[in-house]
Amino acid sequence: MSHPSLRSLVCVATVLALASCQNDSNPNSPNTGAPNALGSQGPSNLPSAAELDRQVPGFGGFFLDQDGTPTMYLTRGASPAAANRVFSGYMAARGLSAVRVLQGQYGWKQLQRWQDAATIDALAISGAVYVDNDERSNRVTIGVENLAVEGQVRAAAERAGVPREAVIVQRVDPIIQVATLQNVVDRPVRAGVQINFPGFLCSVGFNATSGTQKSFVTASHCTTKQGGVESTPYYQPLQSVDGTVIATEVADPVYIKGGAGCPKGKLCRYSDASRAAYANGANQALGLIAQTSGANNGSLTITGSFSITSDDCSTTGGCLASGTTVNKVGRTTGWTSGAITNTCVNTGVSGSRVVLFCQTFVSAGVGGGDSGSDVFQVTSGNNVKLAGVLWGGNSGGTQFVFSPFGNVTRELGALTTH
């Protein structure tokens, strides 16, 4: 899918698309200052849903509640003993005695099969936004832009074999691609700062080495043509500020039409991610993410750096549970932080034919130009675990969507990030 038609639609109609549509030639240069220390922001190394399904009979879904307590759906008759064994170390470290258990009607594996089946027909309907195996409701949740299409998506789910009572349909904002930690000349280049490719602005997602090739990862739609390699040139922060090409696109898998699980008429992938190779390897600040003065305060002032010390698992969909706090740093809205609300969501992109499988939704701020941003979990101090690449969000700027690290490496290959 080429950019011009998508950009012309998104730039006039939505706020979040401004990230990839801006021609902002005069953003303010951020100042430098003292680093801002951070405490730990939540658990790490929690098991994935697939692992819990293998270890816990009757497993129906898992999330962290507002207090960080593991909360699990178990089907009728299932014992919580296995769940408590899996989480024994986590619980003991937090002074908790038992996993919170909710009565579940459906097993997780069955819901996963229904999600995959419903995706094919439901996301082919205009106005359908996503299809999710919703760990917080023990149901298949389908998001729609307007409840006028509720009947159509329910019918599509029923044709796919999903019982009516297993489906929740709810109105949600459309998900759109968001293409300032702005005009700083950052050498070596850290994640989170502005990059410029012909006519448009995005953010560096994270630095990575592929084989021996020093590179950075950003969004696939932050290229001359989304999907496929056209050797897009990148400048930092702007071509008008520094006309030297710092990197060139080298990896961006094509989007597949008619592949397994892909709705009719759509183009599908598992990540909105691409890789660009640095022209000068010395420009790569491997493992560093620009840090601003604070989370959710609107600041674009760089005060230091986060250090990537680990990556999320390589499993498709990632291993960060719903309820986990994650962060992003991007050129437009800076450092924002919030809880994961949905995992492994099959997501349609408003105004395009693109469907992305198994994406993660986060309740945190985002804006135009943040496309490509790093997403991470703070583990201790300024050390972080890399979670993936942000590519979109809702029209209200209150929710962002990212491709988990496992999805990115599934399509771009093995990457060294720190």
Contact at 8 Å (CB) between 359 and 403? Answer: yes
Confidence band (pLDDT; 50, 70, 90) for 16?
very low
CA distance 182 to 52: 42
CA distance 288 to 62: 32
What DSSP state is assigned to residue 224? S
Structure tokens at 60: 């129906």
What DSSP state is assigned to residue 399? -
What's the length of the chain?
418
What DSSP state is assigned to residue 414? -
- Kindly report the CA angle at 308 between 28 and 319, in degrees rounded to 5? 115
Note the pLDDT of residue 96: 84
Place of tokens 């604070």: 294
**Helix, strand, coil % in the chain, rounded to nearest 5:** 20, 35, 45
Residue type, 104: G
Domains and their CATH numbers in the chain: 3-41+176-412 (2.40.10.10)
Write down the pTM of the prediction.
Answer: 0.84
Which residues, 6+ apart, have CB-to-CB distance to 260 below 8 Å? none
Strand locations in 92-159 (E): 100-104, 128-134, 139-144
Note the pLDDT of residue 66: 87
Place of tokens 């089907």: 75
Identify which of 170, 174, 234 has the alpha carbon closest to the alpha carbon of residue 200: 234
In the three-class reduction of DSSP (H, G, I as helix; E, B as strand; rest coil), residue 351 is classed as coil
Torsion angle of C-alpha atoms 93, 95, 99, 100, degrees rounded to 10: -140
Instruction: State yes or no: pLDDT of 243 exceeds 60.
Output: yes
Place of tokens 């950019």: 3
Element (H, E) at 49: helix 49-55
| pLDDT tens, residue by residue, 132-150 | 999 999 999 999 999 999 9
Contact at 8 Å (CB) between 353 and 267? Answer: yes
Instruction: State yes or no: pLDDT of 259 exceeds 80.
Output: yes
Whole-angstrom CA distances from 279 to 209, 250, 416 are 13, 11, 18
| pLDDT tens, residue by residue, 65-123 | 988 889 999 999 999 999 999 988 888 888 888 899 999 999 999 999 999 999 999 99
| pLDDT tens, residue by residue, 152-200 | 999 999 999 999 999 999 999 999 987 547 878 999 999 999 999 998 9
Place of tokens 């009516």: 164
CA distance 409 to 272: 11
